[in-house]
Amino acid sequence: MTDIDNSVIQEVAGKVALVTGAASGIGKAIALLLHGRGAKVVAEDLNPAVEELARPGLVPLVADITADGAAERAVELAVQTFGRLDILVNNAGVIINKLVVDMTREDWERIHAVNATAAFLHAREAVKAMMPNGAGAIINIASYAAYFAFPTIAAYAASKGALAQLTRTLALEAIEHGIRVNAIGVGDVVTNILNDVVEDGPGFLAQHGEAAPIGRAARPEEIAEVVAFLASDRASFMVGSIVMADGGMTVTAG
């Protein structure tokens, strides 16, 4: 992938964005790309490392996105700091690799709390903030696992399937207010999401990505590019779409 000069592309200039799971990986790439293209950004993450992103026009927020009131505080911070909210990116995600028979209820509920429930809560509050403006964009980071599965990812696949359906339903409810809701079906991306599951998470994902027709995993910045497009007015006719950015994985799956 060729690096793009963000000073030339200003597709989200003047907009205000909230990005969850922004301390590393895809979320960090999204926050930095949107900021680099002219948006003001609130970057939210449980990991205090998100504070390293602080700079003019980019405000970090250390918070547990699953906690009661977290979504309200994040949206309020964006509105109070920058005057409005135009873009929400529900990026935060976790995974567990266990067979269903080995999984506890706590395992299941933790995955859904982050991947689905927190996205619902943040989307609900974002829509409330966007409605008076008559415009807005919500982008949910889903997965190819919303469409197919393999052993040990039941909780993750179910949560991403829920996120895909939340995207479609909310899209129908929100478009009358000028708010577009879409999602990205992400494939293997070289991040740290599997670090608690395997010894070398990024290495595992890089290797697993070789099974895709494109022959590799993605860089976080490649997913951020799709987010920037969906957040911009260039995607003005896209409503309730699940845009697949998976290197062709879902084309061959099944």
Domains of the chain in start order, with CATH, are 16-249 (3.40.50.720)
Angle at Cα 215 formed by Cα 214 and Cα 216, nearest 5°? 100
| 156 counts as catalytic | yes
pLDDT digits (tens, 9 = 90+) for 150-203: 899 999 999 999 999 999 999 999 999 999 999 999 988 877 555 556 555 566
- What token pair was written down for 75? 């949206």
Eight-state DSSP code of residue 90: E
Give the helix ranges, DSSP H, for 69-178.
Answer: 70-82, 105-112, 118-130, 154-174
pLDDT tens digits for range 16-36: 999 999 999 999 999 999 999
Residue 5's pLDDT is: 60
Q: Using 50 as the pLDDT threshold, list the residues of the chain that sit under it.
A: none
Q: What is the pLDDT of residue 202?
A: 63
**Whole-number pLDDT of residue 7:** 53
Please count the residues of the chain.
254
**CA-derived radius of gyration, the chain:** 17
Per annotation, catalytic residue among 22, 156, 163, 220: 156
Q: Which residues of 170-180 are buried (b: 16+ CB within 10 A; e: fewer)?
A: bbeebeeeebb
pLDDT of residue 192: 55
Distance of CA 249 to the CA centre of its chain: 19
pLDDT value of position 216 = 85
Q: The dihedral of CA 136, 127, 113, 82: what is its sign?
A: positive
- For 202, the token pair is 């990024």
